Structure 1
Amino acid sequence: MEDESRNSTETMPVLMKQGAEAKLYKSTFYGKPCIIKERFTKCYRHPSLDKSLTAHRIKSEVRALLRCRMNGICTPTVYFTNMENSSIYMEEIEDAQTVREYIQHVQAKESNDTANNILKPLGVKVGEILGIMHSNNIVHGDLTTSNMLLRGNPVELDVVIIDFGLSHFENFAEEKGVDLYVLERAILSTHPNTEDFFQTILETYKKYNLKSSAEVVAKLDEVRLRGRKRTMVG
């Protein structure tokens, strides 16, 4: 029997991007535009260990995508997984820009105060999403403004979270605090004068993760302190 993914992929996959863990291809799946994420073999690992770890990462990523959707968070629809070639076939989010691109566009056009006011509703939406994710013990693992898409009109705040390749399920505040820290560093290092934007995210996060937000934010402060000490030591 021929591979189902080969039968259903109607156009030749086109390589879009290669990262440290996987290659991304653009293709179609039963006529629908799709993205194929193919994890590649790590030659420095024993083949059986590499196969086992890769399978675990794929399963974790698919579970995170599905659990997010079950809790009302927009993520790409998973169409098919092919464990033989370590691939996930998922929905291509069309008519979208990254949150990174949107923030840069707003900041290029507006003064700092005006830009902060325009971006505040987006901060509220992102904080809501992260609060729901963490309250359901979903840790993204690589939160950046490049891994958030704004679909359609940015004013409608249709935010889609992507790239769950490092995701895992964790109830410990430390892991969630690190998740927020990664996002904070990504925002502040990429987008100048966005301290208020991240504060909006954090304040909204607390409202949507009532059960553990106090402990998570305390851990965030600890992680920040450790990060500053590493910077001072060099």
Structure 2
Amino acid sequence: MASLLTDTSAEVPLFSVLPGSQLIKQGAEAKVYRGTFLGRACVVKQRFKKKYRHPTLDEKLTAKRTSQEVRSLLRCQKAGISTPTVYFVNYVEYCIYMEDFDNSVTVREFIEDFQRRSAPLEELFKLAEVVGKILAKIHSNDVIHGDLTTSNMLLRQQSSDSNFQLSSIILIDFGLSQISGLAEDKGVDLYVLERAFLSTHPDTEVVFEKVLSAYGKSYEKAAEVLKKLEEVRQRGRKRVMVG
């Protein structure tokens, strides 16, 4: 395992903690690589240093967020929610080695393809129902995703348009996640998804209503969360009006 903890430098184009890997995505918080780890296809998420932050503060925040992401993934898996299996965590380079789902598409890609084919929205209702049930399940286990979008949901390609199951959808990217039992936090989680869903997939309000309907039927504390969601919506509208 010593080679996994090798220090990296700016001159190394592909970080040495996973030789032969390729960069597939870079966001504001981390880089994501695809490669092979102990003979298994994997993706590695590496949080990089923020030069604008004090080094000590940056290290503490990065370590905390890495730990929290792993904790959320493990909590979801224990509850039977499909998320990437964690193979290894490198707390020196702040890397999480996870299962790679190469035979999948994002829910965003699936819906966009669906809309391009001008298929009836009613055919998306089963997918929406499954998404709502999954959200109910993570919230019943007090996991707040923090960045719910259709890009952070993978769909196993073997799933047909009419045969969606809870295991068909894999939640990914728990980088902003937290553990919380507060209805406010869960309401904000739903609001983030609602804004992302409707802005990414125009004219799908009726589909998202099915998501919330399934959520409400599948989570015993949903009434309180949905009430908070409406309060968050109202606050959002006021901010838009005020500018």
Normalised TM-score (structure 1): 0.93
Give the superposition deviation at 1:11.
4.7
State the distance in 2 between where 1:5 and 1:27 align. 16
Q: Which residue of 2 aligns with 1:145?
A: 150
Aligned residues: 229
Q: Percent identity?
A: 53
Q: What code does the residue aligned with 2:43 have?
A: I
Q: Which residue of 1 aligns with 2:203?
A: 193
Question: Which residues in structure 2 correspond to 1:1-234 (within 5 Å)?
Answer: 2-4=2-4, 11-111=19-119, 114=120, 116-155=121-160, 156-157=163-164, 158-210=168-220, 212-234=221-243
State the distance in 1 between where 2:179 and 2:20 align. 35
Give the superposition deviation at 1:233.
1.6
Give the superposition deviation at 1:79.
0.5
Give the superposition deviation at 1:185.
0.6
Unpaired runs of at least 5, structure 1? none
> CA 1:85–1:11 in structure 2 vs 1: closer, same or farther (change >3 Å)?
closer
Contact preservation (8 Å) 2:24, 2:34: yes
Unpaired runs of at least 5, structure 2? 7-15
- 1:154 counterpart SS class: coil
- 1:33 counterpart SS class: strand
State the distance in 1 between where 2:185 and 2:68 align. 16
Q: Provide the aligned C-alpha RMSD in A.
A: 1.6
Cα offsets for 1:171-219 (capped at 9, x unmatched): 1111100000000011111101111111111011112211x21111001
State the distance in 1 between where 2:26 and 2:18 align. 22
Whose helix proportion is higher, 1 or 2?
Answer: 1
Contact preservation (8 Å) 1:9, 1:30: no
Normalised TM-score (structure 2): 0.90
Give the superposition deviation at 1:48.
1.4
State the distance in 2 between where 1:38 and 1:11 align. 14
Give the superposition deviation at 1:4.
4.3
Q: Which residue of 1 aligns with 2:13?
A: none
Runs of 4+ residues deviating >4 angstroms: 8-11
Contact preservation (8 Å) 2:22, 2:34: yes
State the distance in 1 between where 2:49 and 2:225 align. 35
Q: What code does the residue aligned with 1:216 have?
A: V
Q: What code does the residue aligned with 1:53 have?
A: L
